[in-house]
């Protein structure tokens, strides 16, 4: 089954977001666990989440992908920012137990001048503090574009984080096509080689989700500006090859393109039309 969907607003609660997904032809979706700029999460309404779980089962919707706030930075230099990262991820994972089998994506972090090695040490510290073998959610490190002091702009950095995490059974990677393109991985002319490298360095068994985005910028720009599918520098043919690739096609794909609902509906239809 082609698992395709997009980022949706969670303002109306779980059932509403599931219904919206279905209405635009999506069978997966991503949402923010709370305001992406930080702050407290809305309490979960047990009735709403139960109704959503039934709706999702009925309509084969899932896995759902929760995105951590952008302000979550375990690699920060300031202690209170690191403490926010720990508290937020812990709370998010607790809440996600209401929707078993979910994915939780986060940006590994920015080392803000402390150096990549220190950044990796702090991010690993977060994961070792939080991950538990009992949780049902799989936590995903997002591949980053490598802008500023971002950690996770190369497969090697992600591999180091994973290898230094003790409880790693529930740890995976979300590959963002715009980010790795901007990071210098040429998925347009050499997708097979990029996947070979991913497998050698991280291991394809860690790959659990794809953020499917075109990029406004050329290869290796280290910018991170998403474009609509087929309207950027990666192009429709290359993104069609991503959704059809034998090593990727069973993964869930989540669009994070600059689109309104109608735009997402059209992109999902377009991708279904190129899926073979």
How far apart are alpha carbons 66 and 57 in whole angstroms? 18
Which of 211, 230, 240, 253 forms a contact with Fe ion (CB under 5 A)? 211
Q: How far is CA 129 from the centre of its chain?
A: 21
Beta-sheet pairing, 109-110 with 150-151: antiparallel
Query: Is 208 a binder of Fe ion (CB under 5 A)?
Result: no
- Binding span for Fe ion by CB under 5 A among 81-89, 170-178, 190-198, 265-273: 170-178
- Binding span for Fe ion by CB under 5 A among 53-61, 165-173, 217-225, 256-264: 256-264
How far apart are alpha carbons 30 and 89 in whole angstroms? 16
Choice between 208 and 211, CB closer to Fe ion: 211
Please check whether residue 144 is in contact with residue 135, taking contact to mean a CB–CB distance below 8 angstroms: no
At closest approach, how far in Å is the CB of 119 from Fe ion? Answer: 17
How far apart are alpha carbons 116 and 75 in whole angstroms? 9
| Tokens 């009992």 belong to residue | 134
Q: How many CB atoms lie within 10 A of CB 98?
A: 16
At closest approach, how far in Å is the CB of 83 from Fe ion? Answer: 22
- Binding span for Fe ion by CB under 5 A among 46-54, 79-87, 141-149, 180-188: 141-149
At closest approach, how far in Å is the CB of 183 from Zn ion? Answer: 11
How far apart are alpha carbons 126 and 219 in whole angstroms? 31
Query: Is 92 a binder of Zn ion (CB under 5 A)?
Result: no
| Cβ-based neighbours of 269, under 8 Å, separated by 6 or more | 25
At closest approach, how far in Å is the CB of 67 from Fe ion? Answer: 6
Query: Residue 150: which of Zn ion, Fe ion, none does it interact with, CB under 5 to 8 A by kind?
Result: none
Helix or strand or coil: residue 225?
A: coil
Structure tokens at 264: 């997402």
- What residues from 210 to 229 belong to the interface with Zn ion (CB under 5 A)? 224
- Binding span for Fe ion by CB under 5 A among 54-62, 90-98, 135-143, 245-253: 135-143
Residue nearest to Zn ion (CB): 224
| Cβ-based neighbours of 58, under 8 Å, separated by 6 or more | none
Query: Is 176 a binder of Fe ion (CB under 5 A)?
Result: yes
Query: Residue 224: which of Zn ion, Fe ion, none does it interact with, CB under 5 to 8 A by kind?
Result: Zn ion
Interface with Fe ion (CB under 5 A): 142, 176, 211, 256
Interface with Zn ion (CB under 5 A): 224
């Amino acid at each position: 089954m082609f698992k395709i969907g997009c980022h949706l607003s969670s303002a109306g609660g779980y059932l509403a977001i599931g219904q919206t997904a279905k209405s635009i032809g999506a069978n997966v979706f991503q949402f923010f666990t709370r305001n992406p700029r930080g702050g407290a999460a809305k309490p979960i309404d047990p009735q709403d989440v139960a109704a959503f779980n039934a709706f999702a089962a009925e309509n084969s919707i899932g896995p759902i992908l929760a995105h951590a706030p952008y302000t979550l930075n375990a690699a920060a230099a300031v202690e209170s920012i690191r403490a926010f990262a720990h508290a937020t991820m812990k709370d998010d994972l607790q809440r996600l137990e209401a929707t078993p089998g979910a994915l939780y994506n986060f940006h590994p972090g920015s080392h803000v001048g402390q150096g990549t090695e220190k950044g990796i040490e702090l991010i690993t510290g977060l994961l070792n503090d939080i991950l538990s073998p009992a949780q049902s959610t799989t936590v995903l490190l997002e591949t980053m574009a490598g802008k500023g002091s971002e950690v996770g702009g190369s497969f090697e950095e992600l591999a180091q984080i994973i290898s230094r995490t003790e409880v790693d059974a529930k740890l995976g990677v979300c590959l963002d096509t715009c980010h790795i393109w901007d990071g210098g991985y040429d998925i347009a002319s050499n997708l097979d080689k990029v996947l070979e490298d991913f497998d050698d360095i991280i291991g394809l068994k860690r790959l659990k989700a794809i953020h499917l985005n075109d990029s406004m910028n050329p290869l290796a720009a280290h910018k991170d500006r998403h474009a609509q599918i087929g309207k950027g520098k990666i192009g429709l043919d290359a993104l069609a090859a991503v959704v059809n690739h034998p090593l990727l096609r069973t993964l869930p794909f989540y669009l994070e393109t600059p689109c309104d609902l109608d735009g997402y509906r059209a992109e999902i239809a377009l991708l279904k039309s190129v899926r073979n």
